Structure 1
Amino acid sequence: MVQAQFAITPFVKPKAMMEPVGNRTLVNLPNYFTADFSGAGYGPDEIRTVTLLGHKVQIKPILKSNTFHFGDGSSVGPTESRGGGYPNGDVKHTYLKRGTVSASVTTVYGGQFAVDGGTFTDLPGTATITGPVQPIQVLEATGRLVR
């Protein structure tokens, strides 16, 4: 019954966030990516409480991995990292061609449960959730001599 409740948990869909902000960047510029879990649903380490057979059961999604898809055919992961912003973020990507790409994050959640306030125990299985596509415009800067 607990496993069935885990399977129907409304998990947060991870959103690919990028620096520089605004989903616009330049060719050959390093970009820093973060998996954002601020949407609706239950994200990593948030607790969902249900009642099963008269017992309070807490279900906690656990982040197993993220795979960052950059929209140009390349990706990073699976990794336990959530990424991060400049300068210390560890999920970086540099686009080599101009155009519009679609970035996203796929998260694999594991789960734990506790009954009536007891110790959390691992649940078997995982849930794989892909977040919404984020369009990113990759521009090319050109220099020109001005007198």
Structure 2
Amino acid sequence: MNTQLKCKKAEIQDLHKIIELLADDELGRKRERLEDPLPESYIKAFNAIQGDPNNELILAVLAEEIVGVLQITFTPYLTYQGGWRATIEGVRTNKFLRGKGIGTQMIEWAIHLAKERGAHVVQLTTDKQRPEALEFYKRLGFRASHEGLKLHLG
């Protein structure tokens, strides 16, 4: 990928493009509401993320265009002697630019942030309906060391 790719923290004016990226696949179309204006729930969530020092929305920007997004959350644990973990979620890249190194650079940037914050582990999940994402994360060194479960509450 061109070295002009930049990673930066998201701002409120980026929210519509973020939701557009999240909604731009089969799974995302089922759960996101890409409308104009956006539903208030997105604005509330964005403001909560921005107001929490343990959460960051990271954008990949190429030639002034947002081409990727991820969220990283830092969580303190009592395990590992009170260690911190970094959890990466909501990773999306522009579908026309996949395979160009954007996702790799975003994940590497998130890992760098995790190291800076003193996290002892970086963890993430990916939907089983996205086997290509699982292979992508494995190529970056992530290992399926745990079995994850989710309970949707509504």
Output the TM-score relative to the length of structure 2: 0.26
Output the TM-score relative to the length of structure 1: 0.27
> Which has the larger Rg?
1
Higher relative contact order (Cα pairs below 8 Å, separated by 6+ residues) = 1
